Structure 1
């Protein structure tokens, strides 16, 4: 298992350098006329990613999971937001920033952001959330 990082740090998983820039909480997400309502509340995770590999590849926000103090894992979802990083193709050396959105029960205390490349055998990168 890789060393734990904190929000604001940069970690590497497979061909990606990933920085978690912050986590916000909101009840709705998306453009004005297409807003989605959370079942509980949305955790909106700000991300910066850089392709450090040798070829264009897709970064998929579904590689991100949030974990709470009890060890429950929450998956990100496809949303209608303009900043969503769902299947974003990025060429080598290029960067992108955006968001991953996770619907969690109200008042869930998130303790970790876990990002893993499901197509490789590399260790996940873990960001510890200090609230």
Structure 2
């Protein structure tokens, strides 16, 4: 009786492992499918001046300027560790309820895929006239502000990934 129970448990374990193996294969092929979607997403990337939607926000990158050494005034400001890239973005709430815009959810990438985050402190100085980021935007309203990335002097940004929230998939905007 004991051998039968042991064999039954062993058989159940083998079947379970086999099912897990099938799940891994399904995940892999789903991953391949997602990779293909990622290629489609990259192929459909918006360009400067073109609107791009993610969730409740419609982003339009107006301009990109790199090589900036300092933002702010002569009295108050912040110096770049390398160079600042200033990305002017218009953000419109296309949803039906207020949505908070956060600069920390926005990413910039080089051609080789190196990721850079925003410099929120420098962003405060670059957006002196108003607090654009971490700002609640009501439906139909829009704001324009500057995303600031502090990157090495020898680096060139290729694209942005803009998000309506930390949970969204994001939308790609090519910078060149």
Q: Determine if contact 1:8/1:21 at 8 Å carries over to the other structure.
A: yes
TM-score, with structure 2 as normaliser? 0.68
Name the residue aligned to 1:5: 46
Moved more, 58-67 or 74-83: 74-83
Name the residue aligned to 1:125: 171
Could you list the per-position Cα deviations for residues 47-74 of structure 1 after superposition, in whole angstroms to 9, with x for gaps in the alignment?
0000011111211122211101221000
What are the residue-to-residue correspondences of 1:21-60 with 2, within 5 Å? 21-25=62-66, 26-60=68-102
More helix by share: 2
What are the residue-to-residue correspondences of 1:81-120 with 2, within 5 Å? 81=125, 82=128, 85-120=132-167
Deviation at 1:85, TM superposition (A): 2.9
In structure 2, how many angstroms separate the alpha carbons of the residues matched to 1:40 and 1:84? 24
Report which of the two structures shows the higher radius of gyration computed on alpha carbons: 2
In structure 2, how many angstroms separate the alpha carbons of the residues matched to 1:87 and 1:60? 4
Measured on the aligned residues, the alpha-carbon RMSD in Å equals 1.5
Higher relative CO (CA 8 A, sep ≥ 6), structure 1 or 2?
1
TM-score, with structure 1 as normaliser? 0.90
Q: Which structure 1 segments of 5+ residues have no match?
A: none
More strand by share: 1
Aligned length: 129
SS of equivalent to 2:75: helix
In structure 1, how many angstroms separate the alpha carbons of the residues matched to 2:108 and 2:131? 16
